[in-house]
Amino acid sequence: MSANHYTYRVTWSPEDSEYVGLCAEFPSLSWLAKSPEKALAGIRKVVADVVRDLQASGEKVPEALAEKRYSGEFRVRIPPELHRALTIEAAEQKVSLNRLASAKLAA
């Protein structure tokens, strides 16, 4: 597994007054730096080191989100009242409940 395929993000941390580099697949890891470029470089190095350590010890390495296959399906539990209201709204719009929910999620 290449550490280059993971999902990285850099954001400003007001608490630390620095940029923080994050990796979605390794939520417990972060790297603080004065510039966004250094924060990204730092978190990428930390992740690469962790992946190398996991591989060396025979432990499971997280799969990159970008490389996963997605079915396009997931279940959501909602209150019966909301289910009813959405079903009525879908019927009024002459679309399936699935299409209505998908449009609302995408908005």
Task: List the domains of the chain with CATH numbers.
Answer: 3-66 (3.30.160), 70-106 (no CATH)
Number of C-beta neighbours around residue 43 at 10 A: 25
Q: Give which of 41, 53, 40 is closest to 1, Cα–Cα.
A: 53
d(CA 56, CA 38): 27
State pLDDT tens for residues 39-54: 999 999 999 999 999 9
d(CA 62, CA 2): 11
- Residue 29, pLDDT score: 98
Residue 1 pLDDT exceeds 80: no
d(CA 107, CA 105): 6
Residues 64, 1: contact at Cβ < 8 Å? yes
Residue 29 CB partners (closer than 8 Å, separation 6+): 22, 23, 43, 46, 47, 50
Per-residue confidence band for 2, with pLDDT thresholds at 50, 70 and 90: confident
Q: pTM higher than 0.95 for the full model?
A: no
